A and B are shown apart, each in its own frame.
Chain A
Amino acid sequence: MSNQIIQGILLGGYYALIACGLSFMFSVMRIINLAHGSLAVFAAFALWWLASRFHIPPFVGLLIVLPLMAAIGWALQRFLLERSARGGALLPILTTFGLAIVIDNMLFEQFGADTRSLAPYIGSLSYDSWEWPGSIYVGKLAVIMFATAVILLGGLQLFLTRTRLGRSIRATSEDPDTAGLVGVDARRANAIAASIAMVTVGLAGAFLGMRATFDPYAGAPQLLFAFEAAVIGGAGSLWGTLVGGIVLALAQTLGAQVHPQGFLIGGHAVFLVVLFVRLSTSGLGLRGLLRLPSRSAS
């Protein structure tokens, strides 16, 4: 059982990876990007394409894909989100949902319905494991994934608190108009934030491809996982998403123990339970489950 718990915690690292971009974009731009999962799958396909066509190993391929994702994030913010956010809070949901449909079906058109995996291109890493005391085997990839999540979350935290750019992004998320008054370019800050979010999505896509299989329509479940982890982690700091990811993964692991189809059911159920408990304890005005703690009012 302790073996399963450790596997669950490590899987939580993946969920934290995919959730942190969603949570980050929401906290800065107040937009939930429904194309989030599809973009992660897009990154996985890009790596797969580089690996199968040009024999570029996925870890090297990231050097190409991550800058590409950053550029996509910038363009996404400048050309789509910025414009649709002006039309109110509901419009970006529709815009990004439409985008998700376009991405999914373009991927299907390009790569067909076959499920793919990056596992064949990373050599023995996909199945290598370390033996821990108590005859517990942990996959090297799972540990790398978890470590990446911790480093990424820590790095983002440092970036937001310690650097000038990070502070300007936080200022924009607090109040774009006031930030503008003190010389912060809100458009630039938002575009950079979107780029950063998309880089995390690219990383998440890479690990999705390495640890499992994916197909063109795999984006929707990834979006749900990301959303669930972000909400369970809740109003905490970025580290909240790590906790959320771990809770989600543990619930799925537990669900799988109970019933063969219980993996996903367990995850959704724990999400709803957490949501229910939080809604019923916090009383009225529950406006931002994903909100960073720094923003208290409104």
Chain B
Amino acid sequence: MSTVSSSPVIERGTATSRIAAIAVAVIIALLAIAPQFLSAGAVDRMTALFIYVILAAMWNALAGFGGLVSVGQQVFFGLGAYFAIRLADAGLNPFASLFVSAIVVGVLSWPLSLFMLRLRNGEFAIGMWVIAALTHLLVNLDRLVQGETGTSLISLNVYDAGTRRVAIYWLALASMTALLATLFGLLRGSTGAAIRAIRDNEDAAASVGVRVTGTKRLLFVLAAFGIGVAGALWLATSITFQPKTYFNVQWTAYMIFMVLVGGIGTFEGAILGALVFFLIETWFGGTGVWYLVGLGATAVLFSLFLPRGLWGTIEERFGLRLLPVGYRVRLPATAVDGDATPQQSTISREKA
């Protein structure tokens, strides 16, 4: 991993990150066998957590790495569920339709990106919201959906409740793992260098030959696909499809909250943010309106006082990097072994 030379050492993996990689594998393995030991309710909650992680990671990919803040990502969430309903209604196996639906969403997002990516900052943010509002209205016109009354993924009822619950749990876990792995691979590869260059300075990146639009498009389509998977999985857990619930801007609010709190533009931050959100929801979700006020206020406070989020701050303070997607430079005096101490790694200014 690290190139050995006389002066500054460029490194990617550290001892911590190698331990973290093993830990991740162990955690995933434990999660895979967890349904054996968990109650039905706990399995459902864990499924929700996996979906939150997908949402956070995908919004982070778009905003944190692509510099594209969208307030309309609920459009892909809603469409993921809607197409799953449509495909299942057409006779496709309900489980298969969940993923075919996400592919349809990903394919649709391609032409949309040609158009939307020419908008900048706030224009893109609200422009996406308009797209979501319009799509919601159009889906309402579908007779199958029956307007706001909604419909259900009835064909899933042929499986008994227990099998269904565990199957959806595994699908959610597998989807989360696959999407995170894809994003991780993307960020570590040559595209990742382009992505981080765009995040840090778009004009400068373009001037050194980074394909800005193409890279952004890739992130846009990936995020659309991932959020489509999340929407379809959510449909599978809740069975009923009401357009109002799925095309609700609340979903984007959750994504923004998770990423802002966790740490925008850091791979680990989105996962941490999803965990925090999950815990807050578990503890305070019952308090209704105040819970939502709290989420909004926390988002405001983080954006004002801790814009790098929890993970961004931890990373900066302790030089900790569990799942490194970038490289960092360490000065020779400190670069003897892989143990990074706080003082040493403040020298390495590299981000993510």
Residues of A within 8 A of B (CB): 26, 31-32, 34, 80, 83-84, 87, 89-95, 97-102, 105-106, 108-109, 220-221, 223-224, 227-228, 231, 259, 261, 264-265, 268-269, 271-272, 275-276, 279, 286-290
B130 and A227 within 8 A (CB): yes
Which one of B6-14, B120-128, B215-223, B340-348 is at the interface? Answer: B120-128
Q: Which of B122, B127, B298 contacts A31 (CB 8 A)?
A: B122
* Chain B contacts for A231, CB-based, 8 A: 123
Overall SS of chain A's interface: helix
- Contact with A227, one of B126, B138, B290, B297 (Cβ below 8 angstroms): B126
Is B326's beta carbon under 8 Å from chain A?
Answer: no
- B137 part of interface (Cβ distance < 8 Å): yes
- Residues in A with CB closer than 8 Å to B115 are 275-276, 279
B residues neighboring A (CB under 8 Å):
63, 67, 69, 71, 115, 118-123, 125-127, 129-131, 133-134, 137-138, 140-141, 249, 253, 256, 260, 289-290, 292-293, 295-300, 303-304, 307
User: Are A287 and B249 in contact, with the CB atoms below 8 A?
Assistant: no
CB–CB A32/B118 < 8 A = no
Cα of A264 to Cα of B125 in the assembled complex, Å: 19
User: Chain B residues near A287 (CB, 8 Å)?
Assistant: 120
Rounded to whole angstroms, the CA-CA distance of A101 and B290 in the bound complex is 11
Say which residue of A91, A92, A93, A264 sits within 8 Å of B133 (CB atoms): A264
Closest 5 CB pairs of A and B: A32-B122, A101-B296, A98-B299, A102-B296, A98-B300
The 8 Å CB contact of A290, one of B123, B140, B249, is B123
Contact flag A265-B137 (CB < 8 Å), given A34-B125, A90-B69, A227-B130: yes
A90-B63, A261-B137, A268-B137 known; A34+B300 contact, CB < 8 A: no
Please state if A26 and B122 are interface contacts (CB–CB under 8 Å): yes
Taking a contact as CB atoms under 8 Å apart, the answer to whether B249 and A220 are in contact is: yes
- B69 in complex: contacting residue of A83, A93, A101, A286, CB < 8 Å: A93
Q: A90-B63, A261-B137, A265-B137 are in contact. Are A271 and B130 (CB under 8 A)?
A: yes
Contact B307 A106 (CB under 8 A): no
Output the least CB separation between A267 and chain B (Å). Answer: 9
Q: B253 and A97: CB pair below 8 A?
A: yes
- Assess the B299–A224 pair: CB atoms within 8 A: no
B129 contacts which chain A residues (CB < 8 A)? Answer: 220, 224
Which of chain A's residues have a CB closer than 8 A to the CB of B299?
A: 94-95, 97-98, 101
Question: Does B292 contact A101, Cβ atoms closer than 8 Å?
Answer: yes
The answer to whether residues A101 and B253 also contact, given A90-B63, A109-B290, A279-B115 and a CB cut-off of 8 A, is: yes
In the bound complex, what is the Cα–Cα distance between A279 and B289 (angstroms)? 40
Distance, CA A34 to CA B127, complexed state (A): 12
Bound: A228/B127 CA distance, A: 9
Complex-state Cα separation, A224 to B140, whole angstroms: 19
Q: Smallest CB-CB separation from B293: which chain A residue? A: A105
Residues of B within 8 A of A99 (CB): 296, 300
Contact present for B256 and A268 (CB under 8 Å): no
Q: Is the CB of B303 within 8 A of A261?
A: no
Q: Are B133 and A98 in contact (CB under 8 A)?
A: no
Chain B residues whose C-beta falls within 8 Å of the C-beta of A80 in the assembled complex: 300, 304
CB neighbours of A94 from chain B (8 A): 69, 256, 260, 299, 303
- Measured between beta carbons, the chain B residues less than 8 angstroms from A279 are 115, 118
Beyond A32-B125, A269-B134, is A105–B71 a contact (Cβ under 8 Å)?
no
Q: Is the CB of A272 within 8 A of B134?
A: yes
Q: A272-B130, A289-B119 are in contact. List 8 more A-B contacts (CB 8 A).
A: A90-B63, A90-B121, A91-B303, A94-B260, A101-B296, A108-B289, A223-B126, A224-B126
A217 CB, nearest partner CB in chain B, Å: 9
